[in-house]
Structure 1
């Protein structure tokens, strides 16, 4: 019995070794043809839609709101009354200013009458002095009369100045009353209303926003953040398309209007009073780009999140291979055999993880008619992340390059 068990173990070992050292089946390669076409390069960025011109309407007058005449989504025209502030106090100020103006005018009339009397008195004294040969009246009396006329002239000038001051005060009160009627500064759509009738509005250094009005939503702008690695490729005038979650699968056209020179972190730091170094430390640096968007159908709304694809470059007709073909490395005979004699089976080659840079020399594997592989050297060019432009003397359009190996059926 012992010999039978020993013989069975030897037989199993022989069968195992024979299976491991046997000829492995040929791999089933995944291939892709070498294409001859142009490659469009693009930059992807995310941002939000905004009105081209958004106006915040405030109040310059303090008082309770008598009426609010518009609501969110209402269309308004420039100069249209949208709210009215109570003017009782302002009307009292206007009445006071008018009374002061009338009093100043009366004071001017009185001063003018006084100067006329004093001028007649001075003329009479001068005539008597001429007729008497300078004996009468005395010099002091004449000087007193002259001083009275000068004083009257000053009173007239003061009265006129008081009239101008009263008129200015009245004009200011009238202007304030005009500003109590709040009008739309632009033609557009009301995006936000932040007040209700009866609410008291307090005019201060920081004007309280009552309404937000967007001017002409048929033309909007898309502001996106461009990564610092891509900002050098984006320029004004480049065409773009973008999508929004509200309309899946639909693309909207846009055009790059400008790219900010300062990073987003620098702009935020300037607004908050900090330094650019502190704002960008430890964070991703990005630059804001503004894209013009036409919205004739009115489908797009302010605040929508959009993903834009900006066409930055077109390579023209060139040979293109999948990036997977540049990373593929064929297995050696030992790796293909596997088994107990190949303990590293399934480990990836470290070279396969190396990045493929522009201008580098790489090898692609071309599948021959007899099923064998032929290594062809290529020089890489620009890439869109899926395909790469290559140049090579041994590679021709239409050739099948290997991108991988199909998994064996279980």
Structure 2
């Protein structure tokens, strides 16, 4: 045990000549924070190595197949556009002109409410308007007469035959008649607005479709009285054409971080088993849905169905395609993090190590030099945007640099590197466990 601890400290001392960080012991050994993962490889390499023919390696062959990283969810299909058509007035339904599943156009007449009360209201408002106009004419005539009387009084005053008090009296009468005329004109404006409101109410007895689509639901019968006194009653539900539908999918909170707007979406419905439909994910809504301890977030999905087979209310089993690659070269994802115990890179020279600040191979033991070489190589790989894995060749692990693409929870795609189908890639070193 003491020997193992001593070997580990010796390896860490070798790294401390290059990295700067915090002190570990009183011997002024310092370990750096950068490239922690690479340093772990170096520490592992300081352990004793098994023989080259020791069957300690667990491998898996490079394969050819698909990579699918998906996020599952469940959602309900609904039309892309849906409007509840209500009544803005109170009355009795006397005629229904559209029924379930009927195709309708914008502005098409769907039903009628008894117009008789509103026709009477319009006639009454129009009569009130005529009365108000008559008052305006009468007030205007009285104002004109008062103006003429005032002119005569002023002429008589000029001749000295009428007192000033008479002129003042006629001036007061003129002002009073002008006020009466203004009031009559205001009454005309009020009567006109009542006529306009009566016309609007009469027009509202005709229930018309606000959009092109079909009648998804009808909630009224002939003879039924609808009341709009407290809230607008719903008479019809009109949905837009089902060539475009929307799915509100509920995504679990542990998966929502992998869902974003614009992802490809696949979904199936029980009505058409084995057939896949496709859509595009919209924004993630921030309002959570809580069901006990289970929390989910709604995500809207836009999908196209030219044949209009998807019906409102169908349950869709949804897959958000986070990452996918078909028929690619792939390896187990563990291969990118597995490092064989006792391995030391041959391609890193003393010149490479000595070129780094604070590192001198002449002052290193063999294990320290190996640790420095692994750290140097790791830095080169990271800067090149590459990853590394080990292929078992003639019973010994040989490092290969690769570039990776899509990945899921099991495999990662190899997009560049000297890797062939069938190569045995190291995924575990039993000596490490």
TM score, norm. by length of structure 1: 0.68
Within the alignment, does 1:312 sit opposite 2:322 as a pair? yes
1:284 aligns with 2:294: yes
Q: Which of 177, 196, 199 matches 2:221?
A: 196
In the TM superposition, 1:233-382 aligns within 5 A as: 233-260=258-285, 262-265=286-289, 282-314=292-324, 317-321=328-332
Which residue does the alignment assign to 2:170? Answer: 145
How far apart in 2 are the matches of 1:252 and 1:314? 17
Instruction: Check 1:68–1:375 CA distance in 2 against 1; reply closer, same or farther (3 A cut).
Output: farther
Partner of 2:352: none
Asked if the contact 1:228–1:287 (Cα under 8 Å) also holds between the matched residues in 2, the reply is yes
Q: Is the 8 A contact 2:69 2:323 kept in 1?
A: yes
Is the 1:73–1:189 contact (alpha carbons within 8 Å) kept by the matching residues of 2?
Answer: yes
- Find the residue that maps to 1:216 and give its secondary structure: coil
For the 8 Å contact 1:221–1:291, the answer to whether it is kept is yes
| Separation in structure 2 between the aligned mates of residue 137 and residue 143 of structure 1, nearest angstrom | 11
Residue 221 (structure 1) shift: 1.0
Contact 1:58–1:209 under 8 Å retained in 2: yes
After superposition, give the CA deviation of every residue in 1:247-290 in whole Å (9 maximum; x if it has no partner).
11111111112222x1433xxxxxxxxxxxxx57x421111111
Q: CA deviation at 1:55?
A: 0.3
What is the CA distance between 1:383 and its match in structure 2? 6.5
Question: Which residue is equivalent to 1:28?
Answer: none
Question: Structure 2: which 5+ runs fail to align?
Answer: 1-58, 335-391, 400-404, 426-433
- Report the equivalent of 2:244: 219
In the alignment, the residues of structure 2 paired with residue 93 and residue 207 of structure 1 have an alpha-carbon distance, to the nearest angstrom, of 21
Task: Find the residue that maps to 1:206 and give its secondary structure.
Answer: coil
Find 2:180's aligned residue among 116, 133, 155: 155
Q: Using a 3 Å threshold, how does the CA distance of structure 1 residues 217 and 126 change in structure 2: closer, same or farther?
A: same
Alpha-carbon contact 2:68-2:407 (below 8 Å) kept: no
SS at match of 1:173: helix
The Cα of 1:298 is off from its aligned counterpart by: 0.9
Displacement of 1:37: 4.7
Is 2:202 aligned against 1:177?
A: yes
- For 2:159, the equivalent position in structure 1 comes to 131
Once superposed, what is the RMSD of the aligned Cα atoms? 3.6
Equivalent pair of 1:35/1:321 in contact (CA under 8 Å): no
Indicate conservation of the 8 Å contact 2:62/2:329, yes or no. Answer: no
What TM-score, normalized to structure 2?
Answer: 0.64
- Structure 2: distance between partners of 1:163 and 1:35: 89
Q: Secondary structure at the match of 1:311?
A: strand
Aligned to 2:106: 78
Which region of structure 1 is more displaced relative to structure 2, 35-44 or 194-203?
Answer: 35-44
Q: Are residues 1:206 and 2:231 paired?
A: yes
Q: State the SS of the aligned residue for 1:298.
A: coil
Using the alignment, how far apart are the partners of 2:119 and 2:94 within structure 1? 15
Distance 2:412 2:215 in 1: 51
- 1:328-359: CA deviation from partner (whole Å, max 9, x where unpaired): xxxxxxxxxxxxxxxxxxxxxxxxxxxxxxxx
**Number of matched pairs:** 312
Give the deviation of 1:105 after TM superposition.
0.9
- Residue 390 (structure 1) shift: 9.3
Task: Give, in whole Å, the separation in 2 of the partners of 1:400 and 1:300.
Answer: 47
Contact 2:323 2:407 in 1 (8 A): no
